Amino acid sequence: MEDVTEHRRREAELREATAVLSHEFRTPVAALRGVLEALEYDMPQDLAQNFVRQGLQETERLARLVEDLAVGFRPTRARTLPLAEAFARAERLLAAEVAARQVKLAFGQDHLVRADPDKLLQVLLNLIENALKYGPAGQRIEVMTAQRGTWVEVSVLDRGEPIPDTESLFRAHTRGRDATGQGSGMGLYIVRSIVQGWGGQAWAERQGERNAFSFTLPGVGGLG
């Protein structure tokens, strides 16, 4: 019976992953096709450059989507690492966006954890980028940590507007009500999928004047 249940669970995961891939690739691929078809015709240079910019935006969107899905669904390669290592990687990758938004990014106490470094990085990038996108310019974004028994809790806090239904944001293809521009609506869905993969939890809540997007991962001890 357990083998049958596991087989059905894997089939359900495969169907879900296939649906995600099909849905998310359809829009940027269609947009790229439209751009390339338009460029077949003679047009003013400024209009052609505008189409090229649109095409580049769509390729960047595809590249990020591929990275999200590749990291989210590939087998886990867990090891013991300090959270500070993942924080430093995320800070380097987001330096340009942080500077552009004039945001102060602060990290909490270090802890030893057991996780796949790339998957942990993807979770941090998605959560911090959400805070940059939906919070005000010039804000202070804090990435706080706390020991919870054998688990370590990480929370990304921003000063964005209150979110009426936080749970819905973790469903596939869902974006915040103030979302602008293009986005897949997959970021928090992928965050929860990754976190659940190592046995943790991911959730969001309002803490005073701030939104907190949190997750847990296995602690190892020795730091913090």
Taking all residues of the chain, what is their mean pLDDT, rounded to a whole number?
Answer: 82
How is residue 168 annotated by DSSP?
Answer: G
- pLDDT at position 145 is 98
Of all residues in the chain, the percent with pLDDT exceeding 90 is 38
Other C-beta atoms closer than 10 Å to the C-beta of 171 total: 12
Q: Which two tokens stand for residue 167?
A: 């749970």
Half-sphere exposure of 174 (CA within 13 A, CB side): 13
The DSSP result for 160-221, as a single string, is: ----S-TGGGGSTT---TT--S---S-HHHHHHHHHHHTT--EEEEEETTEEEEEEEEEB-S
Does residue 158 have a pLDDT over 90?
Answer: yes
Q: Which of 181, 203, 185, 170 is nearest to 20 (CA)?
A: 185
126, 139, 63, 62: which is closest to 90 by C-alpha? 126
User: Taking a C-beta distance cutoff of 8 angstroms, is the pair 151, 115 a contact?
Assistant: no
Q: Which two tokens stand for residue 43?
A: 């047009």
Element (H, E) at 115: strand 112-115
Nearest to 19 by CA among 215, 199, 172, 192: 172
Tens digits of residue pLDDT in 26-38: 767 777 888 888 8
For 62, other C-beta atoms within 10 Å of its C-beta total: 17
Instruction: Work out the burial of residue 73: count CB atoms within 10 Å of its CB; fewer than 13 is exposed, 13-18 middle, 19 or more buried.
Output: middle
- Per-residue pLDDT of 87-102, as tens digits, reads 999 999 888 889 989 9
Q: What are the structural domains of the chain?
A: 2-73 (1.10.287), 79-218 (3.30.565.10)
pLDDT at position 73, please?
61
pLDDT exceeds 70 at position 70: no
Task: For residue range 170-224, list pLDDT tens digits in order.
Answer: 876 555 445 444 444 677 888 898 899 899 999 999 999 999 999 999 999 766 5
For the stretch 213-224, pLDDT in tens is 999 999 997 665
DSSP 170: G
Residue holding tokens 């209009």? 47
Greatest C-alpha distance within the chain: 66
